[in-house]
Chain A
Amino acid sequence: MAINDNAKPQGVVHAGDLPDKPAPIATEGAVAWMRDNLFNGPFNSILSLVALALVLYVLPGLLSWLVFNANWSGGVEACRANPDGACWPFVGSRWEQFLYGFYEKSERWRVDILLVMLAIGVAWLAIERMPARSLAAIFMLFIYPVFAFFMLYGNEALGLPIVETSQWGGFTLTLVIALSGIVASLPLGVLLALGRRSKMPIISLLSTVFIEFWRGIPLVAVLFMATIMFPLFLPAGVTFDQLLRAVIGVALFSSAYMAEVVRGGLQAIPKGQYEGAMALGLPFGKMMRLIILPQALKIVIPGIVNTFIGLFKDTTLVLIIALFDLLGVVQASIADPNWSVRSVPYTGYAFVAIVFWICCYSMARYSRYIEDKLHTGHKR
């Protein structure tokens, strides 16, 4: 006891916890991240170096051409003086043509109104917190197209001078073809999908033949048929506008794809839903309208959006039958001898690519977002 009283405590005693030591440098921070993600093995290290070289080779040149070394102001002379950069003044001087085509200058406000309405309508449908979305959907699907037709084409009784469809062009025409194609193909696709799954043998056979026929031929062939064969099919004296023929072709073509998308949705609805509806004594029409289709269409929204993206990109093909959509107008503009600068064709193509990319990518992101929301399975 006595010894212990005098003894001082041996070693170091701390009151409380020691502060944490920093983690070894190899397990944290940029170095560790690189070790884990870029150099975790000899093969991956080589791959990383090659990829890095590729990025360093492509990216600076691309950025300098598109942005830093590009011509942003001035006219054709500035572009001629600096051929190693994009020639954005070309787009600047032509943007009205790219947007409206050859639409009457004094009437372009009509297109502007429609574009603004379209933007609001699409935003309304895409944002989930908006009230009355189903009303908005009905408006966009049924009322807006009719309204848009009268606005674009004009009507003497309403005091709007007529603008012939041959004057429509540019991005407006791209939107007209893609949107009327999708709006027309949606109901047709639903009908075809129901027809294909029908128990009536003739209806199911006819729907299947129709769907497989349109899915088996290229869109170029459809557009060719619309321009060359369609007039032959009609009684003498009946003529259709060329744009309308192209739109009918596009709508029939995409309705076949839409039908397959909708069929996927119909197949995903459990049999109990059908049986439940039948047990309640609902007739076929009501069963579909009230029970099956609302569920089926909801789960195929991503598929519908993807079909629309495909259709949107495919509208560029109308340039083969001499309709001037965005790509067609740009393609015609880069041949302008006043702008015969080496960088102009590249700039034109880059501009179209950027426009289409932004549209398609944002739609794809939206479709992915819906898909993630609907798909709440087991994920790791």
Chain B
Amino acid sequence: MANNSNKTALAAPAPSFWRDPDKRAIVYQALVLAFIVWLLYSIINNTATNMESRGLASGFGFLTSSAGFGIISTPFVPYTEDSSYFTVFLVGLVNTIIIAFVGCVLALVLGFVVGISRLSSNWLIKKIATFYIELFRNIPLLLQILFWYSAVLKPLPGPRELHEAGETVYFSINNRGLIFAEPMGQEGFQYVWYAFFAAIVVSWLIRKWAYARQMQTGEQFPNFLVSLGLIVGAPLITYFVMGRPLEFMPAEMSRFALRGGVTIIPEFVALLLALVIYTAAFIAEIVRAGIQSVSHGQTEAASALGIKPTHRMRLVVVPQAMRVIVPPLTSQFLNLTKNSSLATAIAYPDLFSVFAGTTLNQTGQAVEIMAMTLAVYLTLSLLTSAFMNWYNSSIKLVER
């Protein structure tokens, strides 16, 4: 008897249904799921009804019909007014990728320079860097874009005020953009490219060899200088050996406009300037915080070991700082990519402006077009994150 009652007291009584967290969790999740399903269902249902009542055909059939409008800049994709809406999509995509890529690279360079300047021992440089960061970080990006576009680039004199008819122009900045002579590779120019790629391969091999030698003997090799000399020197020598096979085709001033040459439109320049200057201010702060996050003891220990200041920075501080810098840097790159959609304010033909803007207005296919546009931005975000995550894991501290 006593034994029996003891047993019942020891075994926990089965909790009632509402007291069991596992069962409660199932109920909560079922409720949330039901709500989401209902929400999605009613959204889809309403959209279908609304589109029907407005006489909008759903589906992606509109992509093949011809667009009928011109686009001011269509690099890499052949485009005429007869091209399909899908070509418009491609043009926008290419323009977005170009501005995002060039913007990220330039913002990274400028951000690093400003961030390191902020830690400089030079008082004046430090103050200028701080001023730059505090000024541009706290002014809305859209305002900066509008400023560069309509206050700086648009009021520039036109080509007619700068050049006479018939003049050959090698370089010109006017309100039609940045215009320079087009470099045309002549017979034999491909060898310059071959030399360039060969130099890269050789530099990589030298790097490997120098690392192995340093591991064995402790002797160092001026890796960076030799590689730089090779990569710059080899193509240059080939270029002169081949008899300078590069010709610059200048633009020519006709009665009203410059013909020929390479034109970089002012919309691109304004957007790029604003994006780079704005994002670099944030990257500079990230770089500064990263470098300052490296414990002072690391620098002191490096000095105590007699490591030179430049090596101290390169071998001790920066590798540790990178671990702090990379994650927020990724989100800055993502921000820059997303912010490039502000192009629509100055009509630079990026994806948002030509596809979610003009095409949407012409066809009214809001759902399909927004879905495609959002899919592109989400994919770009995922790709950038994936790349930066890969880089981040490659520099991560290797622990036991």
Contact = CB atoms under 8 A, between A and B. Distances in A.
Interface string B135-149: 101111111001100
B143 A51 contact: no
B228 interface: no
Contact of B121 (A44, A199, A314, A357): A44
B123 interface: yes
Contact of B344 (A228, A320, A361): A320
Contact of A360 (B28, B138, B296, B370): B138
B32 to A, nearest CB: 6
A349 to B, nearest CB: 5
Contacts of B377: 216-218, 221
A268 interface: no
Given A200-B25, A314-B140, A48 B367 contact: no
A327 interface: yes
A123 interface: no
Contacts of A201: 29
Contacts of B367: 229, 232
Contact of B370 (A51, A225, A313, A380): A225
Given A51-B124, A225-B370, A319 B142 contact: yes
Contacts of A220: 341-342, 344, 352
A139 interface: no
A217 B374 contact: yes
Contacts of B98: none
A37 B122 contact: yes
Interface stretch (A19-27, A73-81, A145-153, A233-241): A233-241
A356 B143 contact: yes
Contacts of A91: none
Nearest to A365: B134
A333 to B, nearest CB: 13
B358 interface: no
Contacts of A349: 143, 146-147, 151
Is chain A's interface secondary structure helix, strand, loop, or mixed overall?
Answer: helix
Interface residues of A, number: 55
B interface, size bucket: 35 or more
B125 interface: yes
B190 interface: no
B122 A352 contact: no
Nearest to A349: B147
B71 interface: no
B47 interface: yes
Interface string A307-325: 0010001101101100000
Interface in B318-363: 334, 338-339, 341-342, 344-345, 352, 356, 360
Interface in A220-256: 220-221, 224-225, 228-229, 231-236
Interface in B109-137: 120-125, 128, 134-135, 137
Given A225-B370, A232-B367, A217 B143 contact: no
A47 B374 contact: no
Contacts of A313: 138-141
B297 to A, nearest CB: 9
Contacts of B42: 235
A235 B48 CA distance: 10
Interface stretch (B49-57, B76-84, B160-168, B208-216): B49-57
Interface in B354-399: 356, 360, 366-367, 370, 373-374, 377-378, 381-382
B150 interface: yes
Nearest to B366: A228
B43 interface: yes
A236 B53 contact: yes
Given A206-B32, A224-B356, A317-B142, A218 B43 contact: no
Contact of B138 (A38, A235, A236, A361): A361
B32 A202 contact: yes
A293 interface: no
B46 A345 contact: no
A232 B47 contact: yes
A229 B356 CA distance: 12
B148 to A, nearest CB: 10
A54 interface: yes
Contacts of B141: 313
B370 A229 contact: yes
Contacts of A229: 366-367, 370
Contacts of A316: 140, 142-143
Interface in A283-325: 309, 313-314, 316-317, 319-320
B382 A320 contact: no
B134 A361 contact: yes
A89 to B, nearest CB: 19
Contacts of B334: 215-216
Q: Which 7 A-B pairs have the closest CB atoms?
A: A360-B138, A37-B123, A218-B338, A216-B381, A313-B140, A218-B341, A202-B29
Interface of A: 37-38, 40, 44, 47-48, 51-52, 54-55, 199-203, 206, 213, 215-221, 224-225, 228-229, 231-236, 309, 313-314, 316-317, 319-320, 327, 331, 342, 345-346, 349, 352-353, 356-357, 360-361, 364, 380
Interface of B: 25, 28-29, 32-33, 36, 42-43, 46-47, 49-51, 53, 120-125, 128, 134-135, 137-143, 146-147, 150-151, 155, 296, 334, 338-339, 341-342, 344-345, 352, 356, 360, 366-367, 370, 373-374, 377-378, 381-382
6 contacts: A38-B122, A313-B138, A316-B142, A317-B342, A327-B140, A357-B139
Given A221-B373, A316-B140, A316-B143, 9 more contacts: A38-B122, A47-B120, A200-B28, A202-B29, A202-B33, A232-B50, A235-B49, A317-B342, A360-B138
